[in-house]
Structure 1
Amino acid sequence: MKRILIKIVINMKYHVRPYPRLEYGIKKVVNHFPALKAKLKQVGNQKTFYSSFVSTKSNRELLIDVTNVYAEDLKTGIQRVVRSIANELKNNDSLKNIDVQLVFLTDRNGYWCYRYVDEPTEMVVPKAKDIFLGLDFNAAVTEASYAGLFTDWKSRGTQICFVVYDILPILHPYWWYDGVSQAHEEWLKTIISYSDKVFCISQTVSKDVKKYMTQHTLNIQNKPSIHWFHLGADVDNSVPSKGIPENAETVLNQFRSKPSFLMVATVEPRKGHEQTLIAFEKLWADQVDVNLVIVGKAGWQVNDLIQRIRKHIELNKRLFWLEAISDEYLEKVYAASTCLIAASQGEGFGLPLIEAAQHKLPIMARDIA
């Protein structure tokens, strides 16, 4: 209950600030509740609260946010990238003069802070010339920013950088549940407001972010530099998940027995699964003997499609759905397939593209940037 109260207070304080009359009315009500008033005062002094901490580290640090991977690795494309890059930086010999630290964001002690993955009881207190890299997609940074965490870090001389995988919930809100677009936009505004540099996973995403900044110059005063980089597919060195099911060889032989077209993506509205399934139903009706292989967990707003797949007459005959498989098994599925279908209507990049190319698979891709 205490954590919920703190979150409510922080968010309320942030959102009513632009409306003085509303803020005054809330203060009149709050005066009748001394405990809540005390909590509001604590939040109001949050910057002083953060500034009272002193770092116990002497060496310069590169602080890498891996919050979601640390809490629960859902094996999404983003988390595969996070594991890979974090592992590469941790083991990069060229970074000899800086301590590379994996960190996670938490509010479990009643205030937002980062803690070290290797030392979970120790709070991160950065120093001048330390570097923070928001590698994981972590929506909670918005709440942490309301509390003054990143304002404190900036005042200490910490360089702040974030990675942007895409801003599709902002550009296409109808592909997600209500509220996702607004939350994603709050996150984007937050990271732009505090970042020195923003790194995007493709040139297209960097153009989207630059365009967004141009359209919102009145609301965002900070102007970080925007960069982009290529994604890779070095699965062996990305701390891959392991595990092969007992029936794997039987399933893989079914893939090898005829042309097998592979889709690797969470089953969600934008990924094009429904359109692809309709196309294959027409092929099967015309006696074209091919497999459609779907790899990816069930997502959101696709309940009808999920039921259609589960009850399909071709399921486990020429239609296969591997809902949650390891990276080790996925490598074998790529090797046993004939072609990748990338039917998504919008992507930051689409990791399966480079993974399929590494396996020398032909790719059928929707004509998008």
Structure 2
Amino acid sequence: MPTNVSNLPPVRRWVPAPVTKEDIDWADLTFVDLAKAKTPEGRAEQVRLARDATHRQGFFYVINHGLDKAIVDRMIDIAALAFDDVSEEEKIRYRARIKETGEYLGYKLPQYWHIANGVKDRIEHYNFPRDVSRREHPNVLRPFLPEVQRIVEFTHRGVLNEVQKLLSLGLELPENTLPDLHPFDETNHSFWRFMLYNPRSQEEEDKTDNVWMKGHADHTSFTAIWSQPVTALQIKDWDGQWRYVRHVENALVVNCGDTTEYLSGGYYKSAVHRVIKPPSDQDGYRRLGLYYFHYMADDVRIAPLLDSPVVQREGVNKFIVGVPPVQETWRKNRASTYGVTQLERAEDGTEYEVVNGVRVTHYN
């Protein structure tokens, strides 16, 4: 991707929140360095780091990926336009038909997901298809679509496919095993998201114990999150404790999703995470971020990679009762039901629903 942003359409600057100075219980996450992975010795080290991090926590940072910070900062500026410079009428026009289609494309408006005790979310997002030309977009975003398309492709191919090569080798399979299941072509329905968390009233904070989004695991193969400074993301760590994810300038936070856990027979762990109210010195700031949700090709079945010696040694947990669904069925059913169905309560206090024969747990 080009690093010169001076010849691009002008955009108003987003002023980020200051980094918190509070004493925080940070998660100890691994750094996967894509620059070091370019030499044989460094590649062997990064395979081990990516494998162990995904097996233990399902979360890790990716650094030295090759994208200039100025481009990421500019994309945040563009993201703000989607929420601050689009009228409510136009947002409704481009509203995603999530329950009807099983896809998030377009706006998810606030007050859609139930959080707790009658309180619904204060989260907005605008979602682009992997190929941004597949649909029409709000007027204010149209001059920036070529830039969005470039960062989508970079995140898919330049980051996640490269990480998947390391994780394929971690399963003792050919390095292109996982990337080949996640092509950047018309069979793939990965999507890009601008997401904005708006502050809430104290009454809503009290009713939800400060939880902005319930603990959950993503139904994707992976999610890539461009790090931003508002401290609110927590992971359910390897020891069962909730810990915060620290902001690292120009890094990506990559989390393993359910699909990769199923492909690896449970060896790679789907990362449970949630979003809660930020610390007091960031109170009142809006949390704006860039996300990429990574799927396999639509016709691939979500079944364990039984050729992997690691999967064979570690035992296979098939997770899914009956015939595994193909990616298209899985992604649409999970998207259409999340946050809007009646959940059952388990003995341990968690809530759950059954989708495609899989028990999907929600942590409140």
> Which of the two has greater strand per residue?
2
Higher relative CO (Cα under 8 Å, sequence separation at least 6) belongs to: 2
Which structure has the greater CA radius of gyration?
1
Q: TM-score range by the shorter chain?
A: under 0.3
Q: Point out the structure with the larger helix share.
A: 1
Instruction: Compute the TM-score of the two structures, normalised by the length of structure 2.
Output: 0.25
Query: What TM-score comes out, normalization by structure 1 length?
Result: 0.24
